[in-house]
Amino acid sequence: MRAERIVARGFRNLADLDLVLPQAGAAFLGRNGQGKTNLLELLYYPVLFRSLRGCRDTEVARHGDGGFQLSMSVRTTKPGRPEITSVAAEFQTPEKKKTATVDGVRVERMSDAIGGWLAVAFLPTDLKLVHGAGVERRSYLDRVLALAHRGYLVALARYRRALAQRNAALRQQQPLLAAAFDDGLAVAGAELVRRRQSWVRESADRFAEECDGLGESTPTAIRYQGDDTLGEPEGWGNALRRAASRDQALGMTTVGPHRHDLDLRLGKRRFREAGSTGQQRTAAIALKLCELATLASASGSAPALLLDDVFAELDEDRQERLAARLTASRAGMDRAASQTFLTSPRGDELPGVFPLDRFTIEAGTVYGPVGARELVA
């Protein structure tokens, strides 16, 4: 899977652009505040058709404009699909209306457009995956598994709907009405727990190997932290009954995958308690590489990598190891390395083994590759 061209109007501080993207990817260089992260956000937008930073679309639209438009041409080799796919989105600020199209055909639901372009993004804020609250790791699991499995996406929507209805009934002090949503909550919730547990089992060794390969000498581990009995709908009845008085007192459901977590270990202690900043960054990157492997396996094509200042706060050895890891072919897969787009304030901060075309960004305008004509009007 390769992005060949991105066209955008009105996106963040970026000048309107029509950018041809190199096959291997690119390094975007520039001072702070020039738009490097915004460009990665633009490249990620067609993955889920929303900001990778969790911002509202009104915040993504360039200040003073009436909205934004973007389109991306993607080359795929997956059997049964066109060789070139076009994915596009438009957001109109006054009406707060968003539409998406695939190959020129408007989709009824945003979820119908998901899968035409896949990418894994790393931002400095992703250290929250390691040292932040459990909601960060739950969001990570939900995103990875929703992109990898359509069934998970459907179950997640059903679970959230049943959870919202049950919580509303609890807040209204109507326990019998709340109980009416228990079966729907159990069926959808069990699907989420099963797939999460399966993913952790499949990814545990990879997480440890990625950390080791990036230079972490202390043993690492990842475990699913939650009630294992909730992996089957039959396990929910007793759990909900035990929590009934607490749920009624709090006006919220305290049982289920929306309360579960990932337990990341450095030796015998939690990463967030024992790890240095560099070690925590290593763990966050390892999680992203696990995400990459999951999506590659599910889609049959390596997703792109979008890396924002990923080498910062890593020592030289870890930088070189990471660079070698990112440029190598995916281990155990008969496909080329992922198309990689990364940012850095200066070119000399990139490890020397990174063979990517280099562009510069200044005041939202993209120039390059180095020595070439300006690509953006």
Confidence band of 85 (pLDDT split at 50, 70, 90): confident
Cα gap 209→215, rounded to integer Å: 10
What average pLDDT does the segment 220-238 reach?
Answer: 96
Spatial CB neighbours of 81, under 8 Å, sequence gap ≥ 6: none
What is the crossing angle of helices 316-327 and 182-213, to 10°?
110
Taking alpha carbons only, the member of 290, 281, 277 closest to residue 222 is: 290
Number of residues that make up the chain: 377
Confidence band of 370 (pLDDT split at 50, 70, 90): low
Confidence band of 280 (pLDDT split at 50, 70, 90): very high
Distance of CA 283 to the CA centre of its chain: 15
What average pLDDT does the segment 60-87 reach?
Answer: 85
Cα gap 135→326, rounded to integer Å: 28
Give residue-wise pLDDT tens across range 92-147: 998 899 999 999 999 998 888 888 899 999 999 999 999 999 999 999 999 999 99
Say if residues 72 and 3 touch (Cβ distance below 8 Å): yes
Spatial CB neighbours of 209, under 8 Å, sequence gap ≥ 6: none
Q: Count other C-beta atoms under 10 Å from residue 329's C-beta.
A: 12
What average pLDDT does the segment 37-58 reach?
Answer: 95
Spatial CB neighbours of 363, under 8 Å, sequence gap ≥ 6: 13, 15, 34, 35
Give residue-wise pLDDT tens across range 236-246: 999 999 999 99
On average, the pLDDT of the chain sits at 91
Dihedral of alpha carbons 280, 286, 292, 298, sign: negative
Cα gap 199→206, rounded to integer Å: 11
Give residue-wise pLDDT tens across range 197-214: 999 999 999 999 999 999
What pLDDT sits at residue 374? Answer: 36
